[in-house]
Amino acid sequence: MTFDTLQERLDYRFKDASWLRQALTHRSYGQPNNERLEFLGDSVVNHVVALALFSRFPDLREGDLSRLRAQLVCQDALHGIAASLELGTVLRLGEGEQKSGGAERPSILSDALEALFAAVYLDGGFDAAKTVIDYLFKSHLASLDPNTSLKDPKTRLQEWLQARRKQLPKYRLVETLGEAHAQQFDVECTIDGGLQTRGLGSSRRAAEQQAALLAMETLEKHAG
């Protein structure tokens, strides 16, 4: 992918392309890199998402809004957006980082996305950054339901089973995939009665949550 294609996917064209290059430059590549932009971008994306949640859920308390924001602006969520943009294909990495799979590492991709948000902010101002972030987070915001999103999938699944006097789920690590710097965990969730689901994640906890979410969706579909 080219820088032009990335700008098309963002629906934003940089007036000063040096901001874009810096946002996509890892410290292993040289200077100027995206570390300072990442710091700024973290604040920008949290601000924009906070505004969106504040407007979308006028009756939610501060603590609930904070928990929803933490779900939306976490490494896994940012990594997912970065991967959907294919950000790894345009990252500038040092030779060693490139060979070790840095272009696929969740931490590097999520940091680069935050740096990209900062670059848009510095190039076009807050309104431009807000437009880009709102666009990229649109589907995530639309799918939020405070009645369920404020509880993680494992908690929801446990409460659902307990309410029906069923045995609690069992989680088993099936396999650890990938190199140490970019591992993926494959976890199986088994529920009494034969239901089994599998989840993948950059941590064992994330994989368990994914497996629990799939189990919860299956149970609710059959119950409904």
Q: Considering only CA atoms, which of 108, 39, 110 is closest in space to residue 72? A: 110
Q: Enter the tokens of residue 22.
A: 């810096």
Q: Please give the Cα distance from 210 to 161 (Å, whole number).
A: 17
Q: How many Å apart are CA 50 and CA 53, to the nearest integer? A: 5
Residue range 161-213, pLDDT digits in tens: 998 999 999 999 999 988 777 789 999 999 988 899 999 988 899 999 999 98
* pLDDT above 90 (res 156): no
pLDDT tier at 224, thresholds 50, 70, 90:
low
CA dihedral 7, 13, 14, 19 (to 10 degrees): -20
Q: Note the pLDDT of residue 223.
A: 65
pLDDT value at 131 more than 70: yes
> In CATH, what class is 153-223?
alpha beta
Task: Report pLDDT digits (tens) over 24-53.
Answer: 999 999 999 999 999 999 999 999 999 999
**127 appears as a binding residue in the annotation:** no
Mean local confidence (pLDDT), 110-124: 98
To the question of whether residue 111 is assigned a binding role by annotation, the answer is yes
- The H-or-E segment that residue 176 falls in is strand 170-177
C-alpha distances (whole Å) from 146 to each of 69, 149, 152 are 11, 5, 11
> d(Cα 102, Cα 121) in Å, to the nearest integer?
26
User: Taking the domains of the chain in order of start, what are their residue ranges?
Assistant: 3-146, 153-223
Which residue do the tokens 């996917």 mark?
9
Nearest to 150 by CA among 76, 75, 62: 62
The DSSP secondary-structure symbol of 92 reads B
At 182 the pLDDT is 75
Q: How confident is the model at residue 220 (pLDDT cuts 50, 70, 90)?
A: confident
**Domain 3-146 of CATH type 1.10.1520.10:** yes
Identify the sign of the CA torsion 115, 121, 126, 131. Answer: negative
Cβ atoms of 9 and 84 within 8 Å: the answer is: no
Say if CB 125 and CB 44 are below 8 A apart: no
What is the arithmetic mean of pLDDT over 95-107?
92
Mean pLDDT across the stretch 71-89? 92
**Cβ-contact 23, 132 below 8 angstroms:** no
Quick check: pTM over 0.85? no
Confirm whether 3-146 and 153-223 share one CATH topology.
no
Distance between CA atoms of residues 192 and 175, nearest Å:
22
Question: Among all residues, which ones are annotated catalytic?
Answer: 42, 114
